Copies of this chain bind each other. A is one copy, B any other.
Amino acid sequence: MKSTAADGDSGGIRAVSRAFRVLQAFSPERMSLGVAELVRETGLPRTTVLRLVETLAAEGVLESGPDGQVRVGTRLIGLAAFSAAAWTVPEPSLARMRALAAETGETVSLYVRKGLCRVVVGQAPSPNTLRHVVRPGDELPLSVGSAAYVLLGLEAPDERDVLIDRVAAHSGTPGAAAPLRRGVAAAIADGWAISHGQREPGNTGLAVPIRPDDSDGTRVPARPVVLAIGGPTVRFTDDKIPGFVTAVRRCAEDIARTGLPPALY
C-alpha cells in the first residue's frame, strides 16, 4: 500500500464519497450483495470496490462473509438508531399527517432540499391502492414539481436565482430554467403550488410551505420545509382543489406547532 501526503487530499475525500456509494447499494430489500453486484450498482472498478469493502468491514460498517456475500455490519446499529431518532416525525404530527391522508385520500409527504435535489423526510401513505409511493430518504428532482417550486420559493431571495440556474443546469433538460423560474414565482405569489405530470405522467402534487410562527414559542426549523400531497391526476379535479389547498394548509399550520423531525431544528 502506498503512503500518501495528507489524508485530507482529494483521494481521501473521494474515498469517503465512494464508501457511501457502496453503502447506498444496500436496501431493506437487498441486505446481502456480492462483489459483482456492488461493482454493477456503484459503477466503480472491482479493485476499488474490494478495497472499500475491506475498509468498511474493518470498521464494522459492513461484514464480508466466507460465502463472498457482503452484509451490514454491527457499526450501523448505533448509527441507524441515531438517524431514526433524528428523522422520526413526532407522533402528534404524524397522526395529523395520517388524518390529512385520510381526508384527501392522497399520500402526504414532507420535503426538504438537499443540494440540487429534494428529499422526502416524512410520510403518511394514501389509503387508496392507486397511490403516490415514495420512501423517506428518496431523492427527487428539484427542477420540476409543486414541492420543488415551494421549496425554492422559501430560499433567501438573493441566493434563489443562482440556485434555480444550477438546478436547471443539473436537470439536463435544455431550457429548464425559464419554466422553473415561473413555477417558483407563482408559488411565492400564491403561497402554494400544484403540478400535473411533470415528474411522472399522471401524477399530481400540491404543496404548501411550513411557516412556523415563532411569536408563540414555536420552534423554527433550520431549513425550509414543505408539506405536499401527491396522487393520480384524475383524483385532483378542479372542484376538489380549493378544498385540498385549505386542508393541506391547515395541516402545515398544525404540524409547525406539534413539531417536525428533530434533525430539522
Contact of A16 among B56, B76, B87, B222 (CB under 8 A): B56
Taking CB atoms and an 8 Å cut-off, the chain A residues in 155-186 that contact chain B are none
Determine whether the beta carbon of B11 is less than 8 Å from that of A114: no
Contacts of A76 in B (CB 8 A): 79, 82-83, 86-87
Contacts of A121 in B (CB 8 A): 74, 77
Question: Which of A61-69, A198-206, A207-215, A252-260 sits within the interface?
Answer: A61-69
Determine whether the beta carbon of A78 is less than 8 Å from that of B24: yes
Determine whether the beta carbon of A80 is less than 8 Å from that of B78: no
Q: A74-B121, A112-B74 are in contact. Are A11 and B4 (CB under 8 A)?
A: yes
Contacts of A16 in B (CB 8 A): 15-16, 19, 52, 55-56, 59
Determine whether the beta carbon of B24 is less than 8 Å from that of A79: yes
User: Does A43 interact with chain B (Cβ within 8 Å)?
Assistant: no
Determine whether the beta carbon of B5 is less than 8 Å from that of A4: yes
Instruction: Give the interface size class of chain A.
Output: 35 or more
Determine whether the beta carbon of A23 is less than 8 Å from that of B77: no
Q: A16-B19, A82-B31, A135-B81 are in contact. Are A222 and B10 (CB under 8 A)?
A: no
Q: A77-B136, A119-B74 are in contact. Are A67 and B222 (CB under 8 A)?
A: yes
User: Does A92 interact with chain B (Cβ within 8 Å)?
Assistant: no
Contact of A80 among B12, B14, B69, B84 (CB under 8 A): B84
Query: Number of copies of this chain in the oligomer?
Result: 2
Contacts of A84 in B (CB 8 A): 28, 80, 84
Determine whether the beta carbon of A55 is less than 8 Å from that of B17: yes
Determine whether the beta carbon of B2 is less than 8 Å from that of A9: yes
Taking CB atoms and an 8 Å cut-off, the chain A residues in 22-63 that contact chain B are 23-24, 26-28, 31-32, 47-48, 51-52, 55-56, 58-61, 63
Residue among A16, A72, A75 facing the most chain B CB atoms (10 A cut-off): A16
User: Does A7 interact with chain B (Cβ within 8 Å)?
Assistant: yes
Q: For the complex formed, measure the closest distance between the CB of A53 and the CB atoms of chain B, giving whole angstroms.
A: 11
A48 to B9, CA, bound (A): 10
Contact of A79 among B23, B67, B78 (CB under 8 A): B23
User: Does A3 interact with chain B (Cβ within 8 Å)?
Assistant: yes
Sample of 7 further A-B pairs with CB below 8 A, known A11-B15, A20-B75, A80-B83 = A7-B10, A11-B12, A12-B12, A72-B263, A75-B137, A80-B137, A81-B136
Query: Could you list 26 A-B pairs, sorted by A, with CB under 8 Å?
Result: A1-B10, A2-B10, A4-B4, A4-B9, A4-B12, A7-B14, A9-B11, A11-B11, A12-B15, A15-B15, A16-B19, A17-B55, A23-B79, A26-B82, A27-B78, A28-B86, A31-B263, A60-B114, A63-B223, A63-B263, A72-B82, A72-B87, A76-B82, A76-B83, A77-B137, A80-B82
